[in-house]
Amino acid sequence: QHIVILISGTGSNMAAIVQAAERERWAERLSARVTAVISNRPQAPGLALARDAGLATHVVDHQAYASREAFDAALGDAIEQHAPALVVLAGFMRILTPGFVARFDGRLINIHPSLLPAFTGLHTHQRAIDMGCRFAGATVHRVTAELDHGDILDQAVVPVLPGDSAATLGARVLSQEHLLYPRAIAAWLQEQGG
Ligand code: GRF
């Protein structure tokens, strides 16, 4: 089962997934491996991390396409080259068209830095602090055409501490994302009979 990971930036979740796959021997245990990493930003630091890990990388630059539909078609073609069983959005910061979501229906998952269904969209940590939340976290969910909706596959919870800023809370959540995402993917692969 091939896994393709889509990124836009740092790629720390991507790196955590690649490391877990190695450490937990997904190739032997789940017949699964990360095949490629695709970024919509040519300068994404995560691309270098992926290359260092020996993975195929591609850039599909959204700025080179006149419409979301054209970008999504090119992105989808780049993904399909690898015939993935699972497409993992890991800090991929583009809204995907319903056509793209339908093309990868049932094999598209995302991580979002909040306890969904609370705080869809951006600035999740500041919004959780502003609302006085005592807990924050991250959610792995199936991707549907509606942003940050879709069935929840797994979540991680962290406390919001007195004096937290969006940066300190975000770092606490991100460190849990690095455990959560590999765990959710391994469970998904296992469920597929891997
Ligand atoms: C993570 O917080 C993820 O939940 C959000 O974007 C961030 C990506 O970080 N969607 P990284 O690129 O994986 O380091």
pLDDT over 80 at 70, yes or no: yes
Distance, CA of 35 to CA of 70 (rounded, Å): 24
Question: How many other C-beta atoms can be found within 10 angstroms of the C-beta atom of residue 181?
Answer: 26
How big is the chain, counted in residues? 194
Distances (CA, A) of 185 to 38, 113, 192: 18, 16, 11
Nearest CA to ligand 1 atom 5: 91
Is residue 167 within 8 A of residue 187, CB to CB? The reply is no
Tokens of residue 113, six digits? 């830095």
What pLDDT does 194 receive?
A: 52
How far is the centre of ligand 1, averaged over its atoms, from the C-alpha of 90 (Å)?
A: 6
Does the predicted interface ipTM exceed a cut of 0.85? yes
- Confidence (pLDDT) at 99: 97
pLDDT digits (tens, 9 = 90+) for 155-176: 999 999 999 999 999 999 999 9
Q: Of 182, 191, 194, nearest to 88 (Cα)?
A: 182
Q: Whose CA is nearest to atom 8 of ligand 1?
A: 91
Q: In the annotation, is 112 catalytic?
A: yes
Residue type, 164: D
Which residues contact ligand 1 via a Cβ below 6 A? 7, 9-13, 46, 90-91, 111-113, 138, 174, 177
Average pLDDT of span 2-27: 98
Tell me whether residue 13 is annotated as binding. Answer: yes
Helix ranges (H only) for the chain are 12-23, 26-30, 45-52, 68-80, 98-103, 124-130, 166-191
Question: How does pLDDT run across 38-61, given as a tens digit for each residue?
Answer: 999 999 999 999 999 999 999 999
Question: What is the predicted pLDDT for the residue at 27?
Answer: 96
Separation of CA 39 and ligand 1 centre (Å): 13
Over residues 74-127, the pLDDT tens digits come to 999 999 999 999 999 999 999 999 999 999 999 999 999 999 999 999 999 999
Distances (CA, A) of 30 to 2, 61, 148: 11, 32, 27
Residue 2 pLDDT: 97
